[in-house]
Every structure is written in C-alpha cells, then in structure tokens.
Amino acid sequence: MTDSDADRDADRDTDRDTDSVTDGRRARGDATRRRAARCAADLATTRGLDSISVGGLASATGLSKSGILTVFGTREALQVAAVAEARRVYVDTVIAPVWGAAPGQDRLAALLDAWVDYQRAGIFPGGCFVAATSAEFGHRHGPVADAVRALKREWLNLLERELATAGVADPAEGAFRIDAYLVAANTRRQLFDDEAALDTARRLALAVLP
C-alpha cells in the first residue's frame, strides 16, 4: 500500500466517523422533535396551544430547553409542529383506517365510527384536537392560526367531498351540520363527562345522508 492509498483509507474512515456522528445527532434531533411535538399537541387539548412554552414543555417531557430550542428554534415553530403532529395522529387514527371503504355513504359512516373510537380511546387527554384549537384560534392570524385553520378546512373539505359522492344536495351545508354535531359532542363530553353525546352526534350526523 502506498502513502496515497493509506491517506485515502484514512479519509474514508474520517468520513464514516463524521457521517456516524451526524446521523446520531440527526436521530436524536428527530426523537426530540417527535416527543416534544406530541406532548405539545396533548397539552394543547387541555390548556390551549397558546399556553405552550419551551420551559413548560421541558418540564413535561424531561427534555432540555436548549434541546427543544435547537430543533424548533422558536415557540411559534413548536406550536406549528404541534398542529402538524395532531394532524398526523388524526390521519392515522381516524382517516387512514377507513380509506378502504367505498366513497360516499360507506366511508362517511366509517369516518364517524372512527371519530367516536378516537374520542373514546383518549388519544388526546382533552378530547378532539381540532375542536379545541379551532375555538382557540378562530379570531387570530399568523402561522399558528393558519396551521389550525388549514387543519379544520382539510377536515371540512373531506366531509364535503364524501357528501357530494353520497349524493347530498348541499355538501357544504351537510359538512357544516356534521362538524357542528361532532364539536358539540366533544364539548359536552369534556364539560359533563357525557359519553352518550358521542353516540348522539353520530346518529344525527348519519341523518344528514340521503
């Protein structure tokens, strides 16, 4: 082996060591991001998104303030990440499992069943994330409010599309009614521990279908 070969081998070893360190840091950063975002989403359903702070989240998760700030940069970015994490959970638990159902009536019925199950499973400690944050940020502007508004609009659009496929004459009105029933059920359940409200909301929502 020549000196140049040895130098090239040494460079490759250094590159591998550097890549390993970089990958380790990235993995730790990703783990911190996921843990912090999920905890922030949980807290948002009981205390509100606006109550989330880096210090409070550090206490709740055991993560360091510096670690949280390293991956998010700002409190606002952390709040936006909480909305994104809540969306991921909502898609995974309510929407994705029923996507194999036939579009229209069958899928809407399956969505309503999945929403009720999502509530009863206690996925978020304060009930439905969408319902909680929509009320909190309805009158605000900025990146966090935009993220909350986009999440709500996405849900309404989904309802409208399925209602249109089901042959409902006014899908926008139908989506309004279904969403109102679900939000009311979430509120009654949180305020009065009224589990029956979930079944009532499902029954009234199904009545929107032709």
What one-character-per-residue DSSP string does 85-135 give? Answer: HHHHHHIIIIIGGGTTSPTTHHHHHHHHHHHHHHHHTTSSTTS-HHHHHHH
Q: Which pLDDT value is given to residue 138?
A: 80
Instruction: Calculate what percentage of the chain has a pLDDT beyond 70.
Output: 87
Q: How far apart are the first and last CA of the chain?
A: 81
- How many CA atoms are closer than 13 Å to the CA of 3, on its beta-carbon side? 0
The total number of structural domains that make up the chain: 1
CA distances from 69 to 51, 63, 66, 73, 182 (A): 17, 10, 5, 5, 36
Which residues lie below 8 Å from residue 56, measured CB to CB, with a gap of 6+? 43
**Residue 43 scores a pLDDT above 90:** yes
In angstroms, the CA 94 to CA 124 distance is: 13
Highest mean pLDDT, choosing among 28-37, 125-134, 173-182: 173-182
CATH number, domain at 35? 1.10.357.10
Span of 60-74, 143-157, 179-193 with lowest mean pLDDT: 60-74
In angstroms, the CA 158 to CA 203 distance is: 19
Q: Which pLDDT value is given to residue 84?
A: 97
**Residue 163 scores a pLDDT above 80:** yes
Q: Which two tokens stand for residue 77?
A: 């970015």
The pTM for the full model equals 0.84
pLDDT for 49-101, tens place per residue? Answer: 999 999 999 999 999 999 999 999 999 999 999 999 999 999 999 999 999 99
Residue 124 structural domain = 3-206
Q: Which pLDDT value is given to residue 189?
A: 96
In angstroms, the CA 59 to CA 208 distance is: 45
Q: Which pLDDT value is given to residue 11?
A: 57
